[in-house]
Amino acid sequence: MNNYEHNVDLVNHKVSPHRLDAAAKAGAAAIYQKAVIVTLTVQQWRAVSVRRDVTAQLTASHQVPKTAAKVQANLIEPQYLRGLWSAITAARSAHKRYSLVWGGDGQRLLPLDRSHQYETAMHAAMDQFEREKTIFLAEYNNIKASAATALGVFFDPNAYPTAAELRHKFSVSYHFLPIPQAAHFSANVTRAQCEKIRASIDEIVQRRLHEAHQSLRQEIGASIRHLIKQLGVDAAGEPRALHKAAFSNLLELADEIPALNVTSDPAIPAVSAALKTALADQDLKYFRRRSRDTKETERTQRQREALSRKLEAIIDGFCGNSKIGEH
C-alpha cells in the first residue's frame, strides 16, 4: 500500500495532517474555477427603542452613573415578527449549509457544484420572507395601535417608522463575487507596492481557503462525535434518547461533503463513503427499542456499541490524534 492509500484508509490507518495540507495547497491552485464568494445580506427592523428619559429617572433614583443602565422598550410583541424571523433563519441556514466559511460579514465560499442547490434554497427562503413581510405590513397599523395600549407610558409614537419606511427596513439578498486573484491586480502604484499588494491578496486567499478546509473537517468530526455520544448511555447508565435526525443528519452530511471538498482533500470522499457504509441498512427502530426484557435490552445495547465502534474507527482514521470535532 502506498503513502497515498495510507492517507485515505479511514478504518485501518490514520490520515497524515501533512498530507492533507499538501492536498489543500494543490486544490487551491484550481479554486478560482471551482468556487465563488457569496455574501448574504439581511436587514431587519429591531423594533426596540431606548428610553433615555426613563433611563435617566432609573439611574438617578438609584444614584448610579447614567451609563450604568439602559432601558429599552419593545415596540411590538415578538409574535408579530416570528414569521419574518423564521424566513431569515431559513435563509441563513441555506447560506451555511451549501457553503464554507470565508472571512466574515456574511461572506461564504460557495462551490460552483452547489450553486444550483444554494440558489433554489435561497429563493424559497426569500419568497417566504416576502410573503411574511407583506402580511406584517398589512397588519402594521393595527399592531402599532395595540402597542399604544400595551406599552402605556413606554409608548412613543415617534419611535415607529411609517409602513412605507418600514418596507425598506426588511430585506434579504445575496450576491456573488469572484475570488480575488493576485495576478489580476493592477493599479497606478510602484512595482514594489504592486507586488506587496499581490502577495497580501495571495496570503489572504490561501489562509481563508485553509480555514474553510479546517472548518469542514471540524463539522464532519463534530457530527460523527454527536452520534457516538447519542449511542451511549446517560449519567444513570440508561441508553440515551436516539432521534431519527441523529442518523439522517449524518447521512445528509455524508452526501454533501464531497461537493464541499474544494481543496481536493482525499480524506473527504473516503470518510463520506465510510459513513454511508457504516450507516447503511441500520434499523433505527431497533436502536431506539426499549424493553423490559433484559436480553432484548442487552441486544439493543450491543447493536449500539457495535455501530459506535465503527464510527470511532472512522473518526480516528479521519482525525488522527488531532481531536477534530471534539468539544
More confident residue, 32 or 105: 32
pLDDT tens column, 86-124: 999 999 999 999 999 998 788 999 999 999 999 999 999
φ, ψ of residue 237 to 5 degrees: the values are 85, 5
The amino acid at residue 89 is: T
Residue 233, pLDDT > 60, answer: yes
CA distances from 110 to 24, 116, 264 (A): 16, 10, 15
- Mean pLDDT is lowest, of 17-26, 166-175, 222-231, 269-278, for 17-26
Residue spans per domain, the chain: 3-31+195-319, 37-182
pLDDT tens column, 293-302: 566 667 778 8
CA distances from 43 to 49, 126, 127, 139 (A): 17, 12, 15, 20
Mean pLDDT value across residues 285-308: 71
Residue 285, pLDDT > 90, answer: no
Asked if residue 159 lies in contact with residue 75, where contact means CB atoms within 8 angstroms, the answer is yes
Mean pLDDT value across residues 79-89: 96
Mean pLDDT value across residues 194-207: 93
Q: Which range among 126-140, 203-217, 223-237, 243-257 has the greatest average pLDDT?
A: 126-140
Q: Provide the pLDDT confidence category of residue 20 given band limits of 50, 70 and 90.
A: very low
- Structure letter (DSSP) for residue 14: P
| Percent residues over pLDDT 90 in the chain | 54
Average pLDDT, the chain: 84
Grid cell at residue 34: 471551482
Alpha helices in 62-183 (DSSP H): 82-97, 115-151, 163-167
Mean pLDDT value across residues 40-65: 86
Q: Name the residue among 175, 92, 87 with its Cα closest to residue 133.
A: 87
Q: Name the residue among 218, 251, 257 with its Cα closest to residue 98.
A: 257
Q: Which range among 24-33, 63-72, 315-324 has the greatest average pLDDT?
A: 63-72
Q: Provide the pLDDT confidence category of residue 269 given band limits of 50, 70 and 90.
A: very high
Residue 19, pLDDT > 50, answer: no
Whole-angstrom Cα distance, residue 192 to residue 185?
A: 13
